[in-house]
Amino acid sequence: MERRNSPIKDSNQQPSSSNIHSTPATVKEVTTSSSSDGESSDSDSSPQNYVIHNYYWYWLFKFGTTLGEEIFYASVFPFWFWNIDGAVGRRIINVWALSMFIGQSLKDIICWPRPQCPPVIRMENKWALEYGMPSTHAMVSVTVPFSVILLTANRYEYPVYIGVAIAFTWCILVSTSRLYLGMHSVADILGGLALASLLLPVLLPLVDTLDAFLLTHPAAPGLLITTTITLMLVYPGSKFSSAKEDTAVILGSSMGLQLGGWIGYQMGSIRGPPIKPPYSIIWPSYEMLGLSLLRTIIGLITVVATRAIAKSVSYAAMRGVVSTLRSKEKSAKEDAGDVELFVKLGTKLMTYAVIGIDVMCLAPAVFRLLNIERPTFHTEI
């Protein structure tokens, strides 16, 4: 990959013979945005053209960075609950949410900008408004795959070394993709990997006790909602940042999934497994694969519908709260920014909480109605 300048050409200019016979290359253009502190340089705000010479690496690293995105986990986590193991899923959610909250908070405390471009070629703009240290992509590339291995090693009978190899490959691919795309420095990546490596031994021993409390205790919903709102209130910085918005999505999703698990347990649909682990893994038949695909498609349809409804209702509810609580002494101009931030984050939090409840309660109820539910879905504590 190389950078290509884009000077304005004279329309009457004739191409040279060497250009006529050269192999054409695809020129991509990306316009970078200002950083989250509102500062930007001329170089950071100007369009960049670059030529991709090797599409194998380009698409490999594009795929690698997707493994750390919210859209990936928005698809994988429901799939895991509907088709694999809810008990492991709830524990992974706890590790994921806590580690991501810490990582996103540190970004807005350290305020370490992303690599300057140029000289770096920033190939994506999605995270350009966030700070860079630590890389939460690198963090989640450690916490999620290695949590899966450590939480399933004694629960299922399978070659653990294969899982470890996949986890390391996952981690390396996600981390290097952030360097390739120009979104992080080496220090950002190493900081994220180091922080995740420190958090994992602390969080994993707590997840069994935490899951048991959140699943069975009568006070769990109130404490869960209070803790989630408190974490959003103590999140560093009073201004809007994309990291804060992502944190609202993460905490809302986690809260909804845990509330959904609590509702299922209280209603008697989630109970202890009939036999103790370890369990043997059965290679899925074509029928099992078809049912998994059907559950995933139907479940995601319910999620999309729930999101559309919950987003509208949540926004209206947050506006209602604002109109009730807003101080009459303050002018509309004075608190307009704070109000918009409150409404936006509150809407995200409530919307994704409802989606989490959908994943744990509504979608499984639809599966049961259609007689396509996973047989062990309700026997995983």
Nearest to 352 by CA among 230, 252, 258, 248: 252
pLDDT at residue 166 tops 60: yes
pLDDT reading at 32 higher than 50: no
- 316 located within any domain: yes
Residues facing 2 on adjacent strands:
51
Catalytic residue selected from 53, 137, 217, 378: 137
Mapping DSSP to helix (H, G, I), strand (E, B) and coil, where does residue 351 land?
Answer: helix
Residues 259, 379: one domain? yes
Task: Identify the three-state secondary structure at position 44.
Answer: helix
d(Cα 247, Cα 71) in Å, to the nearest integer? Answer: 14
**Tokens 């420190």 -> residue:** 198
Report residue 220's pLDDT band, with 50, 70 and 90 as the boundaries. very high
Is 184 tagged catalytic? yes
Give the separation between CA 13 and CA 7, rounded to whole angstroms: 13
SS3 359: helix
Is 139 in the same domain as 165?
yes
The arrangement of strands across the sheet holding 27-31 comes to: 2-4, 47-51, 27-31
CA distances from 368 to 82, 307, 377 (A): 12, 21, 10
Do 38 and 77 belong to one domain?
Answer: no
Are 255 and 357 in the same domain?
Answer: yes
Task: Report d(CA 45, CA 43) in Å as an integer.
Answer: 6
Closest CA to 298 of 236, 351, 374, 350: 374
Element containing residue 257 per DSSP (H, E): helix 242-266
Lowest model confidence (mean pLDDT) among 73-77, 112-116, 212-216, 232-236: 112-116
Find the catalytic residue in 21, 53, 184, 217.
184
> Are the C-beta atoms of 207 and 95 separated by less than 8 Å?
yes
* Sign of torsion over alpha carbons 227, 135, 70, 248: positive
Q: How far apart are CA 179 and CA 189, in angstroms?
A: 8
Residue 278 belongs to a domain = no
The burial class, CB within 10 Å (0-12 / 13-18 / 19+), for 1 is middle
Both structure tokens of 125: 């703009």
Residue at 256 is within a domain = yes
Residue at 367 is within a domain: yes
| 11 in a structural domain | yes
Domain-terminating residue out of 210, 237, 262: 210
Q: Is 276 inside a domain boundary? A: no
Q: Are residues 143 and 44 in the same domain?
A: no
Q: Which of 39, 32, 167, 165 is nearest to 92 (CA)?
A: 167
pLDDT at 361 over 50: yes
Query: Would you say residue 305 lies in a domain?
Result: yes
Task: Give Rg (Cα) of the chain.
Answer: 24
Q: Is the pLDDT of residue 7 over 80?
A: no
Domain count for the chain, please give it: 3
Same domain membership, residue 27 and residue 110: no
Reported in sequence order, the residue ranges of the chain that DSSP labels E, i.e. its strands, are 2-4, 27-31, 47-51, 156-157, 279-280
pLDDT at 26 over 70: no
Whether cis (ω within 30° of 0) applies to the bond prior to 15 is: no
CA 22 to chain centre: 43
The whole-number average pLDDT for the span 223-237 is: 90
Give the structural domain span for 243.
217-271+283-381
Whether the predicted pLDDT of 277 surpasses 90: no
pLDDT per residue as tens digits for the range 117-164:
777 666 676 666 677 788 888 899 999 999 999 999 888 888 999 999
- 113 with 165, same domain: the answer is yes
Please tell me the distance from the alpha carbon of residue 362 to that of residue 12, in angstroms, as a whole number: 64
Predicted confidence band of residue 6 (pLDDT cuts 50, 70, 90): very low
94 with 136, same domain: the answer is yes
Contact 60, 176 (CB under 8 A): no
Same domain, 180 and 234: no
**Averaging pLDDT over each range in 220-224, 270-274, 314-318, which range is the top one?**
220-224
Q: Residue 228: inside a domain, yes or no?
A: yes
SS3 272: coil
Q: Are residues 119 and 180 in the same domain?
A: yes
User: What is the per-residue pLDDT for 45?
Assistant: 46
End-to-end alpha-carbon separation of the chain, Å?
50
**CA dist., res. 334 & res. 174, Å (int):** 43
Check residue 23 and give its pLDDT: 38
CA-to-CA distance for 319 and 323, rounded, in angstroms? Answer: 6
**Residue 137 annotated among the catalytic residues of the structure:** yes
DSSP reduced 3-state for 50 = strand
- Residues 65 and 195 occupy one common structural domain: yes
Query: Would you say residue 334 has pLDDT above 70?
Result: no
| Same-domain check for residues 206 and 225 | no
Say what the pLDDT of residue 115 is.
75
pLDDT mean across residues, the chain: 80
